[in-house]
Amino acid sequence: MTQVKAARAIPVQVDAVVNARTGDTMAQKITRITVATDLSARSDRAVERAFQLARALDVPVEILMILDDAMPETMRAPLHEKAEGQLNDLAARWAEGATFTVSVQAGDPTEALVTASETPGTLLVMGPHRPRPFLDALRETTMQRVVRRTPASVLLVTEPVLGPYRHILSLVDFNAPADNALALAAALSPEARIRPFHAVHVPYTGMLETT
């Protein structure tokens, strides 16, 4: 299951993105992709999907990794250099001609990802977070905080990449965010079969069955 997040009301147009903070419509295509990774297998699928989309859309990719800024500099510096090398190796595996840059930054992951996705036309691609049942019940995950705050559209990649998207289930409730998610899905996968789906909650079904 792939989840797409977009912002407020616009007509369903594949070349339109809405700024989630202001609600202003900006007629523009996705012009860059930023993908977050922690070099885990969960993140690898997000990087692979980012490059697949980048080739299809002919846009550059930024691969971004965030290091803990509370770590002493004497420990962080060697990790920074090693991480850059691993990110370049990761990109070389899937770039296949796509333009890319790698960036290793120290800081808070949420703040860094929100800042990195503020450029208009950015698609932010993320993988699933590491399950932490107890902590997840008490607080938002990094992904949830980023989705709530970023002005960019966000693609959450949870499944291995087997090729371009062919079938997309788009949940619709006839409100703005659903319209934008549908438009974004069409922009990212113009050849995919998109199936809108709307569910209606019927209250008091037990009582209806007895009448």
Q: What are phi and psi of 184, to 5 degrees?
A: -65, -40
SS3 sequence of 172-195: CCCCHHHHHHHHHHHHHCCCCEEE
Q: What is the pLDDT of residue 136?
A: 62
Question: The tokens of 62 are what?
Answer: 């930024």
Q: What is the pLDDT of residue 15?
A: 27
- The pTM score is 0.78
- How far, in whole angstroms, is CA 33 from its chain's centroid? 9
Of 43, 20, 71, the residue nearest 80 (C-alpha): 71
Strand partners, 105: 66
Low-confidence ranges of the chain (pLDDT < 70): 1-28, 130-137, 208-211
Q: What is the pLDDT of residue 29?
A: 78
